[in-house]
Amino acid sequence: MNKTNITQKQIAKELGVSVSTISRALSDSHEISAEQKQRIASYAAKVKYQPNPHATSLRLSKTKNIAVLIPDLSNSYFSLALNGIESVVHDKGYNLMIYQTNDHLATEEAIFRYLENGLVDGVLSAVSSNTKGYVEHVSRLNGLIPITFFDRCINDLPIPHITCNDYESGFSATKHLIEKGCRNILFIGIDKSISVTSERLRGYIDALQLKGIPEKKEYILFSESAEDILKQLHHLFANKHQVDGVFSSVERYTLQLYTLCNELDIKIPDQLKVISFSNSPFVSFMNPPLSVIVPPAFEIGKEAAHLLLQLIQKKKYITDLNKVLPCTLLFNKSSLG
């Protein structure tokens, strides 16, 4: 438990050359003879030499680390995105540090501040909120290292972001419900201040407008917790109501909706048609199978990581690097029939 890793100094001593020769040989410098390189490389391999990353980071101010900020690791969307990120980051020889924000702005701010210490070369983040005035932590860090947003983003800041087509998807989902006969459609979201939610809502509103259906304030529900949304839904459905469709932009709130429908014996899709954003492989096995808008979570992660690495390696500059990836719509029984 106390042994320590071998260093260049030890190799140098063993082979009777200087440390700089070792360093140069290992980085394949042209100023080292071929046989010397060979000798050093094979000895290093034999003793399984591993360069100390802290020494290298300190010396070069390059860490080969990148940080990811995610609201909730145990969310099918974010864990898929993380998977995508991981796949490209490690491929390129970078390490991945993860931070969970739990959707708390204060936590996010603390992490951004902390990362000013040079621990990482760049940051991938799905932000907690895009509220104007609460972005100083982001612009400060952005002055130090590259940042790329994925999913949630702050539109006012000149920071590249990879998102899915939330607006179009919200529009299509709502249009679909209308075409299936719905006239009183509920929108469910987390918070207007989250870019994703506001975009999906905009799509919902535009679809209603296009079809000449008046938008009703009481049909637009926001909530930050599953218990709370259940309460809100209960309040709405337990009393006389006309709701005949639901467009949920939050996967786990849709489960609450299903629970409530079971409880109140509301038949999906006969009395209520439902479509929801989701990345769960379970949706097709639900009762009834859930119609879903599936964001390309894995690809979003991959693209974001790829872009960030390019920024870190200065192969690209922050001019119009945003990318929008399309969601997949999957109509199942919950919105048909």
Of residues 61, 239, 242, 319, which one binds a copy of itself by CB under 8 A? 61
Handedness of CA 327, 333, 334, 336 (dihedral sign): positive
Instruction: Please give the structure tokens belonging to residue 76.
Output: 């099918």
Cβ proximity to a copy of itself: between 190 and 208 the closer is 190
CB 51 to DNA: min, Å: 4
Of 180, 133, 174, which Cα lies nearest the Cα of 154? 133
Q: Is 325 helix (H, G, I), strand (E, B) or coil?
A: strand
Task: Tell me which of DNA, a copy of itself, none is bound by residue 30, counting a contact when its beta carbon lies within the kind-specific cut-off of 5 to 8 angstroms.
Answer: DNA
Instruction: Please give the structure tokens belonging to residue 151.
Output: 């999913």
Of residues 5, 18, 33, 38, which one binds a copy of itself by CB under 8 A? 5
Q: Hey, what's the torsion of the CAs at 199, 79, 120, 144, to 10 degrees?
A: 0
> Which residues have C-beta within 8 Å of that of residue 80, sequence separation ≥ 6?
279, 297, 298, 301
Of residues 1, 3, 28, 30, which one binds DNA by CB under 7 A? 30
Task: Tell me which of a copy of itself, DNA, none is bound by residue 80, counting a contact when its beta carbon lies within the kind-specific cut-off of 5 to 8 angstroms.
Answer: a copy of itself
Task: Tell me which of DNA, a copy of itself, none is bound by residue 126, counting a contact when its beta carbon lies within the kind-specific cut-off of 5 to 8 angstroms.
Answer: none
Of residues 9, 92, 104, 113, which one binds a copy of itself by CB under 8 A? 113
Instruction: Please give the structure tokens belonging to residue 18.
Output: 């200087």
CA distances from 177 to 55, 59, 208, 243, 261 (A): 59, 59, 10, 12, 18
**119 interacts with DNA by CB under 7 A:** no
Task: Tell me which of DNA, a copy of itself, none is bound by residue 19, counting a contact when its beta carbon lies within the kind-specific cut-off of 5 to 8 angstroms.
Answer: DNA
Please state, in angstroms and rounded to a whole number, the distance separating the CA atoms of residues 322 and 251. Answer: 25
Q: Restricting to residues 32-61, name those near DNA by CB under 7 A.
A: 32-33, 36, 49-52, 55-56, 58-61
Q: Are 124 and 96 in contact (CB under 8 A)?
A: no
Please state, in angstroms and rounded to a whole number, the distance separating the CA atoms of residues 297 and 302. Answer: 9
Instruction: Please give the structure tokens belonging to residue 268.
Output: 């999906």
Q: Restricting to residues 57-86, name those near DNA by CB under 7 A.
A: 58-61
CB 25 to DNA: min, Å: 7
CB 24 to DNA: min, Å: 5
Q: Is 70 helix (H, G, I), strand (E, B) or coil?
A: strand
CB 71 to a copy of itself: min, Å: 11
Residue 20 exposure: Cα atoms within 13 Å on the Cβ side = 1
**158 interacts with a copy of itself by CB under 8 A:** no
CB 317 to a copy of itself: min, Å: 9
CA distances from 148 to 61, 248, 264 (A): 20, 27, 44
Taking CA 191 as the corner, what is the angle to CA 197 and CA 325, rounded to the nearest 5 degrees? 20
**336 interacts with DNA by CB under 7 A:** no
Cβ proximity to DNA: between 14 and 263 the closer is 14
* Contact residues: DNA, CB under 7 A: 4-5, 7-9, 16-21, 23-24, 26-27, 30-33, 36, 49-52, 55-56, 58-61
* Contact residues: a copy of itself, CB under 8 A: 1, 3-5, 48, 50-55, 57-58, 61, 63, 65, 72-76, 79-80, 82-83, 86-87, 90, 95-100, 113-114, 116-119, 142-146, 252, 255, 258, 280-283, 285-289, 298
